[in-house]
Amino acid sequence: MKKFDFLSILFGLLLSVIALYFMLRPSTATSAPASTIPVVKVGNVSWDQTEMTIADVKAFADATAFVSQAEKNGGGLSYEAGFVKKPGWTWRTPYGVPAKASEPAVHLNQAEAASVCSFYGKRLPTDVEWTSAAFLEQRETPPVGFTKDQRYPFPGGATPEVSHCLSGCGDYRGVAPAGALNRGTGHVPAGTTKPGVNGLLDMGGNVWEWTATERNGGFITRGASWW
């Protein structure tokens, strides 16, 4: 989501993001596999607190023999002077090398992201749902620094500093190997930044997040930038 983290751009709009999965569980969800991601309530809806992780996508892939489009294409996209194909960059190896299970899953298109959500009895949020959860504080007794029913300028609250951004906002530094990116330090593991509005993490930075809302022939992405 994410204090300008050009990862939104770095990973592209089509093959890169999957983050933060909204999970309005259907009644059949009791039989769905268990996710490793903590859940928070926003109003009467349950949300994953962080981006979808590589660990959860791996469980999905192991159970379904899933192969992403980026894997089929030999690599995903990164933004340099325009979008550039990066051989070997997939959700398993976001910077071309094996990633930690706790890293956010990227290089997944919208249909793939939706399929992973469905596997866990979840779904992607609409654009309206995402925006409401990211900016409007809805907790009855929010912690110090947040006020119920207040709309904030950033998903992190009054400042974008709670999330990882291009050069590592605050104390954060990305995990991309030296030289992998032509700018920035890459994303940080999910759950390592500070909670923002409604206790959600990375709604304004780290990686782009897919929504279920279509516009102009594609799907709206959110996050990865505090703009």
pLDDT of residue 13: 37
In which band, very low, low, confident or very high, does the pLDDT at 2 lie, cut at 50, 70 and 90? very low
- Once rounded to an integer, what is the mean pLDDT over residues 189-195? 96
| Cβ atoms of 3 and 224 closer than 8 Å | no
User: Residue 94, by phi and psi: left (phi above 0), alpha (psi -120 to 50) or beta?
Assistant: alpha
- Once rounded to an integer, what is the mean pLDDT over residues 90-118? 98
| Tens digits of residue pLDDT in 31-68 | 789 999 999 999 989 999 999 999 999 999 999 999 99
pLDDT of residue 12: 37
| Tens digits of residue pLDDT in 128-151 | 999 999 999 999 999 999 999 999
Give the gyration radius of the chain's Cα atoms: 16
| Cβ atoms of 209 and 17 closer than 8 Å | yes
- Once rounded to an integer, what is the mean pLDDT over residues 178-203? 95
Residue of 21 and 3 predicted with greater confidence: 21
| Tens digits of residue pLDDT in 80-91 | 889 999 999 999
- Once rounded to an integer, what is the mean pLDDT over residues 140-164? 94
Tell me how many degrees the CA angle 157-163-166 measures, rounded to the nearest 5. Answer: 130
| Cβ atoms of 223 and 202 closer than 8 Å | yes
Tokens describing residue 69: 């489009």
**pTM of this prediction?**
0.87
| Cβ atoms of 94 and 107 closer than 8 Å | yes
**DSSP state, residue 183:** S
Residue with tokens 């291009």: 166
Q: Dihedral of the CA atoms 56, 57, 59, 62 (nearest 10)?
A: -170
pLDDT of residue 22: 52
Q: Dihedral of the CA atoms 167, 171, 174, 175 (nearest 10)?
A: 150
In DSSP terms, 205 is beta-bridged to 2
* Measured distance between the N- and C-terminal CA atoms of the chain, rounded to whole angstroms: 10
